[in-house]
Structure 1
Amino acid sequence: MSNQIEKVEIPGKFGYGTMSLTWTSNPQAEEKSIETIKFITSHPEFGVKLINLGEFYGPNDSNLKLFEKFLKSNDPNLNESLVVSIKGGLDVSTLRPDGSKENISKSIENVVSYIPKENRPKLIYEIARVDKTVPYEDTIGYIKEYVEKGIIDGISLSEVGKESIAKAIKVAPISCVELELSLFSQELIDNGLLAYLSEQQIPIIAYSPLCRGILTDSTVENSDTFLTKIPETDFKHHLDKFKPEIFKQNLIPLKKLYDFAHNVKNTSLESLALSWILKLSGQKNFRGIEKVTRILPIPSGSTPKRIESNFGNIVELTDEDLDEIEQILKENPVKGFRYNEQLEGTLFQ
């Protein structure tokens, strides 16, 4: 047992998001997903050590069950080298956050039941959203108890604003904060959150770095059919950027970024989008920030081929490239909320 709480150090430049493996209308066979996780965690060039999971990523703990099978089939020594960030703490029936002691305990105990005790990865736990009915510092305190017992290794935060982060860091060291960031979703830069986290030097785990698949070559090259090929039951249909009129407007900056990626940087749009985030990570003197904190994008990808497409063509961007990209988006502003008007109040809490 240990009561010494420290931040969990996260190695590498990237993480890997697993939501698309299980929280989808038609998940692929488990064997294929396990093969993909093995591929991304062991690749000699861009292998990642941070895996992002969700207790609610699919019905009946399917995301946790998949990861359990991966760990059992993987080299135990490789398992020990991994860091796993797991979101939980939601009422699964309503997907509303429940930060009560009872629910946090139930959630953490459920999560760790799927992780073998021997040769296990480092475990970072986060409540997926802020429960406004429970003081946030109390919720973080409940999670802290499990770190002190050695059941988990660290604490992360998700979809938080400055006020919640300030409350959390008074309770315990925070290993990272998971927030949305992409070329098409730069709110955390504009609202001062990037500056605040950079002051604290708390790493950011950047989810949806390809804006849920919009920032890809395929989207531009198949823009006429992109929306119609999304399954009817897909959550994307509720998001602003996937509404036909907004998507049509956003095609203007999207095509300009595509042209910049191919004609100036000789790479794909998805690689440009990820390279942009990696360029921001640790950047000095960026929009008044002396030194930007570490930012680790967590793109997904359900097959080795998609993984290679997303991770395999990262390019070095110059300060001039950053300026040019910023100018494209300044002249052609991106339209639409990150989610939609109804859900806007649940973000950056």
Structure 2
Amino acid sequence: MSEEIEKVEIPGKFGFGTMSLTWTPNPQPIEKSVETIKYITSHPEFGTKLINLGEFYGPDDANLKLFQKFLESSDPKLNESLIVSIKGGCDVKTLAPDGSKKSVSKSIENIVSYFPKEHRPKLLFQIARVDKRVPYEETIGYIKEYVEKGVIDGISLSEVGKESISKALKVAPVSCVELELSLFSQDLIDNGILSYLSEQQIPIIAYSPLCRGLLTDSTVENSDTFLSSIPKGDIRHHLDKFKPDIFKHNLPTLKKLYDFAHNVKNTSLESLSLSWILKLSGQKNFKGIEKVTRILPIPSGSTPKRIESNFGSIVELSDNDLEEIEKIIKENPVKGFRYNEQLEGTLFQ
């Protein structure tokens, strides 16, 4: 591993995902989203220092423009305290990953143009998926050049398997790895990636910790109308777990988890789901893993009220609680790919 650059340390228990603020059929006014980011970054109890962005999260650099507006209206000292992990390096029209030097350079240079030269957050860059046309170690090398120049501060990875993580580590330190993890999407536990990252003690940034809104009280309480309420153009229309037959199959599991949250832990389903991830983070002797690496869930939220709902009722789970939750899911196995059959081959590469 190179010693020329260092990992960026990720503080806190949570991050905040911004995809739903700009990459949605009907994004809310930018002023509202700026206030939401201000709320989550400055809240005294659950304020987070890790913000997750995407160059392609919306048309015409919408996500970057939103964050630029936030930085311009925020306290420079607060801005300096933030860590921003940004996905890029893909064709914005097809969303296919492009790990070439030209693509990485274009993406990083575009991203940094939205950040001030002074009082800026620490920047981590990750290519959104593995481009099989370019050796992964070469792609990481292109990103590393920008770290060495001081243009960005560190390297993160996205949707990678053990082989790609190993290749990356031979080139440069990795600050974190972004992967999907939720009660309904536990693939990284089952396929050995959690074990591998725990051996390296590389933090995991857990995206979609509420399984794109499935693991919420509202879904269970409005299960008859939930699918029909998803807006036209929403990506969930193309995902397995939102197909009527699969949703119907998974609903009993969802209801049992809801009952456990409310009747046993006196909290919401979304809070139980996030508490479960936080319980796994640093857990000792878990499924043969001596000590689980740090896991930071990155729920989203369009308004302060939604953020309060997602972040505000975290509970302490016991080892017995973990066993009870696992029992519920084992007795009622969750069906459906994380995305769908067509996209399955693009994950954990």
TM interval, short-chain normalised: over 0.9
1:143 aligns with 2:148: no
Q: What CA deviation, in whole Å up to 9, does each residue of 1:240-263 have, x standing for no partner? A: 000000000100100000000000
1:7 aligns with 2:7: yes
Q: In 2, Cα distance between the equivalents of 1:63 and 1:274?
A: 24
In structure 2, the residue matched to 1:108 is 108
List, as ranges, runs of 4+ consecutive aligned residues in structure 1 with deviation greater than 3 Å.
none
In structure 2, the residue matched to 1:345 is 345
Amino acid in the other structure paired with 2:137: E
3-state SS of the aligned residue for 2:250? helix
Q: What CA deviation, in whole Å up to 9, does each residue of 1:187-210 have, x standing for no partner? A: 000000000000000000000000
1:20 aligns with 2:20: yes
In structure 2, the residue matched to 1:327 is 327
1:70 aligns with 2:70: yes
Q: What CA deviation, in whole Å up to 9, does each residue of 1:32-53 have, x standing for no partner? A: 0000000000000000000000
Shift of 1:232: 1.9
In structure 2, the residue matched to 1:121 is 121
Amino acid in the other structure paired with 1:72: E
Q: In 2, Cα distance between the equivalents of 1:339 and 1:202?
A: 25
In structure 1, the residue matched to 2:60 is 60
In structure 2, the residue matched to 1:154 is 154
Q: In 2, Cα distance between the equivalents of 1:144 and 1:4?
A: 10
In structure 2, the residue matched to 1:311 is 311
Shift of 1:69: 0.6
Amino acid in the other structure paired with 1:58: G
Q: In 1, Cα distance between the equivalents of 2:317 and 2:299?
A: 19
In structure 2, the residue matched to 1:250 is 250
Count residues with an aligned counterpart.
Answer: 347
Amino acid in the other structure paired with 1:309: S
Q: In 2, Cα distance between the equivalents of 1:51 and 1:232?
A: 27
5 Å-filtered alignment, 1:32-111, equals 32-111=32-111
In structure 2, the residue matched to 1:266 is 266
Contact 2:25 2:232 in 1 (8 A): no
In structure 2, the residue matched to 1:174 is 174
Amino acid in the other structure paired with 2:87: K
Q: In 2, Cα distance between the equivalents of 1:47 and 1:117?
A: 24
Q: In 2, Cα distance between the equivalents of 1:218 and 1:348?
A: 31
Point out where structure 2 has 5 or more consecutive residues left out of the alignment: none
TM-score normalized by structure 1?
Answer: 0.99
Shift of 1:231: 1.1
In structure 2, the residue matched to 1:227 is 227
Q: In 1, Cα distance between the equivalents of 2:266 and 2:235?
A: 33
Q: In 2, Cα distance between the equivalents of 1:7 and 1:159?
A: 19
Identity of aligned residues (%): 84
Amino acid in the other structure paired with 1:57: Y
Shift of 1:93: 1.2
Q: What CA deviation, in whole Å up to 9, does each residue of 1:288-332 have, x standing for no partner? A: 000000000000000000000000000000000000000000000
Shift of 1:4: 3.5
Q: In 2, Cα distance between the equivalents of 1:305 and 1:256?
A: 26
**RMSD, aligned CA:** 0.6
Point out where structure 1 has 5 or more consecutive residues left out of the alignment: none
Shift of 1:113: 0.3
TM-score normalized by structure 2?
Answer: 0.99
Amino acid in the other structure paired with 1:340: N
Q: In 1, Cα distance between the equivalents of 2:311 and 2:332?
A: 27
Amino acid in the other structure paired with 1:177: V
3-state SS of the aligned residue for 1:130? coil
